[in-house]
Chains A and B, each alone.
Chain A
Amino acid sequence: MRADLELISDWVAPNSRVLDLGCGNGALLEHLQEHKQVTGYGLEIDADNITQCIEKGIPVLEQDIDQGLTNFDEQGFDVVVMAHALQQFRRPDLLLDEMLRIGKEAIITFPNFGHWRNRVHLGIKGHMPVSEFLPYNWYDTPNIHFCTFKDFRDLCQSKGLKVQRWAAVDGQLHDHWWTRLMPNLFSETAIFKVSR
């Protein structure tokens, strides 16, 4: 279980109705079904992941999120989750709007591009950062809209969204006094729970 999924599941109330955007092999929903008795669906487009979800009995829907989420009713879910995928979509800002149209709350995790190591890569070495966590080259990366912890917080503010909770964690997904104190510089992964 990825540690950010562990964190997310702590933030989900028992018996919630959950939509997991980009659910992968269904690990989060499986965990939530077991520990929080949630119901819900995962959206996924990767063939192997979909097969794995079906094998595990995790309800999965093959749907390309970039094509829209208009088939989902307004406020049909308690929580809409997007783990480590927001930066891969064409318009993360519009997607955030959609998440909060469909769900009462949205939980988003993303890699913080403002992490000091990324700054060293770009600022000192002059290269786009490549790391264990973000192992892609600039030309083949699925991550087309990187942002920093601060950028996302500003987006929420400009949209008038309430940040219910946030966490800033290191590569091992632990939070420390320094990641809490200077999240934009020291956190590798940012986690936000927002609502209207």
Chain B
Amino acid sequence: MPDTIPVDSVGLVTPQVAQFDTPLVLACGQTLPTYQLVYETYGQLNADASNAILICHALSGDHHAAGYHSMEDRKPGWWDTAIGPGKPIDTNTFFVISLNNLGGCGGSTGPTTVNPETGKVWGAEFPMVTVEDWVETQARLADRFGIQTFAAVIGGSLGGMQVLEWSVRFPERLSAAAIIASAPKLSTQNIAFNEVARQSIRRDPEFFDGNYQAQDTIPRNGLGLARMLGHITYLSDDSMGNKFGRQMRHDTYQYNYEVEFEVESYLRYQGEAFTKRFDANTYMLMTKALDYFDPAAREGGDLAKVLSKAQCEFLVVSFTTDWRFSPERSEEIVDALVRSGKHVSYTKIEAIEGHDAFLFPLPRYMAALRGFLGRVSKHLPKENA
């Protein structure tokens, strides 16, 4: 809870809702006749709508990327470290849009919202959504603002996949792309982890085949377990070791299954806290969107061929201890970009935080992002310079 709003914060923000009545044909074959997207914006859109940056969120993110909703908020938005006046994504220069993706649980149409056709909560009936579907809806949101071309599209992890998709789906609609701690597709191991997470949710007796809301319950244990598992993959062995080591709750072993080691307590807390803010069906949808993403498959596995359509400049960032999307995965993207002759810079940031590093204000990482966007801002009309 801030006593006063920090000077480099975007301050108090209010989420907005955009209603769309043009039917959306999804990759899975189903059609959404209407849908809503919840979003926030920071900074001012310039006269020719050329200074807009789109932020794409990761698995458990939402539209609230920066600032505070009220003075009672315990924490600011999830990427407040990077977005704000004078920060690398500088809201003095850029107009930043951050939305909750379709199928999310932050207010955009998804499993927890009401299906207008039935008058009931979507629940398990909500169709599968893909990265491609998200990018399509993000472009429609851009149209609402009259944004023909984004100055930059930026995202980490699953967000980075959306950026990658943007660069080839709407090549003329972005000038720069920052793909952070991401991958061109999931590895077998990534998919395997996702499957365990989904199974832990589906096997919870409170899941009711996804229609738990109608039963006025939630699969708390399953979702918590999925988050515990996910959380381990976001951290590095070293960062967990530094934080907890073998610290124990009691001076001696208790020889039972209650919390003995602090790391157990931490994971249980993380799992429990997650069930209070996130929806199980959305979690399952997001993991499926991750699994399905594989743009290279469109060209027989040739990522360079897919990326040859791109016209923007790229920044690719990885983190040394990230094992969920390791530096090698980012380098697959970089190699494909080099092969197709694209303008790309790549930096591998020394970091102990594992995959989560992309949310930390690490100096080298922030300098790279700032430098990259500084170049982008030079192409804006003078009023922004």
Q: Is the A/B pair a real complex?
A: yes
Q: Once the chains bind, are B339 and A55 in contact (CB under 8 Å)?
A: no
CB within 8 Å of B: which of A43-100? 47, 50-63, 71-73, 76
Q: Does B199 contact A (CB under 8 A)?
A: no
Residue among B339, B344, B348, B364 making CB contact with A51, cutoff 8 Å: B364
Q: Does A150 contact B (CB under 8 A)?
A: no
Judge whether B15 is part of the interface by a CB distance below 8 angstroms.
no
Q: Which of A51, A71, A72, A76 contacts B371 (CB 8 A)?
A: A51
- How many chain A residues sit at the interface, stated as a range, is 20 to 34
Are A54 and B339 in contact, CB atoms less than 8 angstroms apart? no
The one of B338, B347, B348, B375 in contact with A55, judged by C-beta atoms closer than 8 angstroms, is B375
A51, B338: Cβ atoms closer than 8 Å: no
B331 at the interface (CB under 8 A from A): yes
Chain A residues with CB below 8 A from B341, complex form: 17, 39
* Residues 329-385 of B at the A interface (beta carbon under 8 Å): 331, 334-335, 338-339, 341, 343-348, 364, 367-368, 371-372, 374-375
* Cβ–Cβ contact A55 & B374, under 8 A: yes
Q: How far is the CB of A22 from chain B (nearest CB, A)?
A: 16
Q: How long is the Cα–Cα vector from A19 to B338 in the complex, in angstroms?
A: 11
A62 touches B367 (CB 8 A): no
**Do B345 and A59 have beta carbons less than 8 Å apart?**
yes
Q: How far is the CA of A186 from the CA of B303 in the complex (A)?
A: 51
User: What CA separation (Å) do A175 and B348 show in the bound complex?
Assistant: 40
Known: A61-B346, A62-B348. A50 touches B331 (CB 8 A): no
Q: Of A54, A58, A61, which is within 8 A of B334 by CB?
A: A61
Query: Which residues on the B side are within 8 Å of A72 (C-beta)?
Result: 338
Determine the chain B residues whose CB is within 8 A of the CB of A76 once the complex forms.
338-339
Q: Is B315 an interface residue (CB 8 A)?
A: yes
Q: Is the CB of B375 within 8 A of A51?
A: no
Q: Is the CB of B331 within 8 A of A54?
A: no
Question: Which residues of the other chain, B, contact A62 by a CB distance below 8 angstroms?
Answer: 346-348
Residues in A with CB closer than 8 Å to B375 are 54-57
A57–B338 CA distance with the chains assembled, in angstroms: 15
CA gap between A73 and B304 in the complex, in Å: 12
CB distance from A38 to the nearest CB of B (A): 12
- CB within 8 Å for A73 and B339 given contacts A51-B368, A54-B371: yes
**B372, A59: Cβ atoms under 8 Å?**
no
A41 within 8 Å of B (CB atoms)? yes
Residues of A within 8 A of B364 (CB): 47, 51
User: Contact between A60 and B345 (Cβ–Cβ < 8 Å)?
Assistant: yes
Cα distance A52–B371 in the bound complex, in angstroms = 8
CB distance B315 to A54 under 8 Å?
A: yes
B368 touches A59 (CB 8 A): no
The complex places the Cα of A47 from the Cα of B375 at a distance, in Å, of 18
Q: Tell me the complex Cα distance, A116–B343, Å.
A: 44
Closest B-chain residue to A19, C-beta based? Answer: B338
CB distance from A55 to the nearest CB of B (A): 4
Tell me whether B345 and A53 are in contact (CB under 8 A): yes
State the CA gap A51–B348 with chains docked (Å).
Answer: 11
A190–B319 CA distance with the chains assembled, in angstroms: 38
B91-108 interface mask toward A, CB cutoff 8 Å, 1 = contact, 0 = none?
000000000000000000
A16 to chain B, nearest CB (A): 13
Q: Is A54 a contact of B343 with CB atoms below 8 Å?
A: no
Out of B339, B344, B371, B374, name the residue touching A59 (CB < 8 Å): B344
Can you list 26 A-B contacts (CB < 8 A)? A17-B341, A39-B341, A41-B338, A41-B344, A47-B364, A50-B347, A51-B371, A54-B315, A54-B347, A54-B375, A55-B371, A55-B374, A57-B313, A59-B344, A60-B347, A61-B334, A61-B344, A61-B345, A61-B346, A62-B346, A62-B347, A63-B346, A71-B335, A71-B338, A73-B339, A76-B338
Closest 4 CB pairs of A and B: A55-B371, A54-B371, A57-B375, A61-B346
A residues contacting B by CB (< 8 A) are 17, 39, 41, 47, 50-63, 71-73, 76
